[in-house]
Structure formats: structure tokens, C-alpha cells
Amino acid sequence: MDDVSDGPDLRHSGSMDLARMRLDYTEHGIDEAELHEDPLEQWRRWVRDAVDAELTEPNAMVVATVDDGVPRTRTVLAKGVAPDGIDFYTNYTSQKGKALGKRGPVSATFVWLALQRQITMVGTAHRVSDAESDAYFELRPREAQLGAWASEQSHEIESREVLNVRFAEFDQRFGDRVPRPPHWGGYRIIPDEMEFWQGRPNRLHDRIRYLHHGDTWSRTRLSP
């Protein structure tokens, strides 16, 4: 099939020569003997490495859902880890909140380019308890708490000024303690599969996949 495009050829567009962008990965590979048998504990170790390296937003992850057959991705921040999964918080009435509420499949990816590492997980998402959501909400700065009230996440809004007015209204409404909105709380991604990726020379990367079987995990190496 001919390569037909109505737009510019970005492979050769001055300084943005995408086809020639190349970075060889030279970091230490994955020694399977050093991996923890629990992938969530291994996830903790890699996040700790990212924190120690002082990377920007080391807990950022791209969460993918499927809504009426349409895949959608967005970046959120992991805010907790439990024995069975990883937590993040959002508006239940948002686009992702509605998709997660259907209990469909969900995927999340952590990327640490400076460390030449990536973790991908696939599983399902479940709401955390109200007590857990309340506890996390208490930790948020007051401005972020007010923002959870002011923003009708994913819904159309007439202007930025409307958002600012709503924020000011809730600022006046609440005193020192801002309660958690009933439409806002946490989800826990419970993985059935996790893959750890480490960049290696010659594009012969290391890929280790964990699969969940009841109370145990199996582990295999994948070809890059």
C-alpha cells in the first residue's frame, strides 16, 4: 500500500527529524534472580528508584479504559498501594470515572524515561472504601479540596471564569475543614498481569511478565 498523506512529512522537518531520533539504552538489565516474587513489591522498588532519582512526578501513570468500544487514556497520579493493587483518586462522574464504574478492563502504564524503565499492568478497578477516600482527601491541600468541589470533571464549561466563580463560592461556603465531595473518591487497580520493561542495547530490551493465578504469580521472560 502506498504511503499517502495530506500533511507534512515529519520525518524530515528541519530540526524535528523523527525518523533519525535514536537513543541507545545502556542501563543495567533485569536480573531475574533479583526480582521479587510479588510484582506489587517489585513495583514499589522501581517507584522508590524513581523517587531517589528525583524524577518529576515519579508516581504518574497513564490509565486506559474502554468506553462503549472506544479506548481512552489519561495521566493520573498513583496515591497508594495495597496488597492487591494501586490506588488513585478522581471524580466518579468524570469520563474515566464512569468507564471505571462499569468494571471493565483497565490498563495502567508507568514510564520513567530517565531510568529507561516501564511497567504496564492490566486488570480491573474497584472503588476503595469511603474511609480510605476520606483519609486521603484529608491529606490534600485545602485548594485541591476546593477544586474537587468546583470542577465538574469532563463536563462542558462555558469559560474559565465560571470555574473561578465556582471555586470562590465553595471557598466561602466551607470553613477550615472541607468535606469530601460525595462524587469524588478512590479506585484501586487490581492487576491480573504486570510487565516490567528495561531498555537494553540494540533494542534487545528486557521484558518480564507476571501473571496472577489465584493466590500466586507466575513469571516469564518475553522477547522484545
| Integer Cα distance of 178 and 66 in angstroms | 33
Sole residue written with cell 495530506 = 6
Among the listed residues 48, 72, 142, 203, the single catalytic one is 203
Torsion of CA 143, 59, 151, 141, to 10 degrees: -10
Assess whether 203 carries a catalytic annotation. yes
What SS3 class is residue 81?
strand
DSSP 61-97: EEEEEEETTEEEEEEEE--EEETTEEEEEEETTSHHH
| Integer Cα distance of 62 and 75 in angstroms | 4
Beta bridge partners of 173: none
Active site residues: 203
